[in-house]
Structure 1
């Protein structure tokens, strides 16, 4: 007779004691079916876990993009305001500066505040210089003209500055580009 045990005996232990083991084919099939079901559930669980992790990463990426680029439409709408203020400051003649000193100072302060707000929200100007090489990733060619003493593809005039929103182009700088000079 066997001793009292807390754990059930293994099949090998039962066979060693000489007890007859009756393997029921139906019970064996049920165990195999349960193992298959367990494996299927484990696979579904792992897939659901992976889907949940992918969803978490996607929503984190979407949140970051919304935070960084959500205001791009508003920023794009403010760029003409910036352009008009810049034109107003550039168009004032020296004779008018004395007469309109207070007005010009107010426009300059407003312009500085607008630039400060742009910087705060990751909007940086693209300011090409005459003579720089044309970059189609940052510049928009408004016209092309043959200009003596220039190379083809050099910027010959800057109409408006461009702007980047973090690492995305908000608006390209509008420039005139030199074509191959006529001989």
Structure 2
């Protein structure tokens, strides 16, 4: 069977939604949880469109809220596939809000959702490859590939060590760089 490839534009998604008072938190700004829910939905749609199957969220890379979103603003979420593995995809999402009275647009956050393709039995399934057709797409793909490789190495490094190894002076001295106090009188 010939391996299938899809273009980034073929699964790109953009949604727009007006922010309502029911979406606000106690301070009157749009609740971050509401924005995260919308981001998860757009990531699902983008990944499912690319893989042509059901997808689940496996991980969300750091979400940093750069600017608050106000009630009455129009929120735009743009999602695209930045990276594909064998069964997973990284969806890049950019969130912007627009003051519909003035037309002022602000970048509110960007995040990366790792989505995994599933078959009808709930097993992971292979996803199409990605056709990369711009310098920005190359940069995004390689940045994501580097992060995937780094995370695998980091997980292996910390999971393969015994607890006693972290008691070594090299590791303990690293803790002095952080806002922690060590009180080792009990075992976990």
TM-score (norm 2): 0.22
Structure with higher Rg: it is 1
Choose between structure 1 and 2: higher helix proportion.
Answer: 1
Higher relative contact order (CA 8 A, sep 6+): 2
Choose between structure 1 and 2: higher strand proportion.
Answer: 2
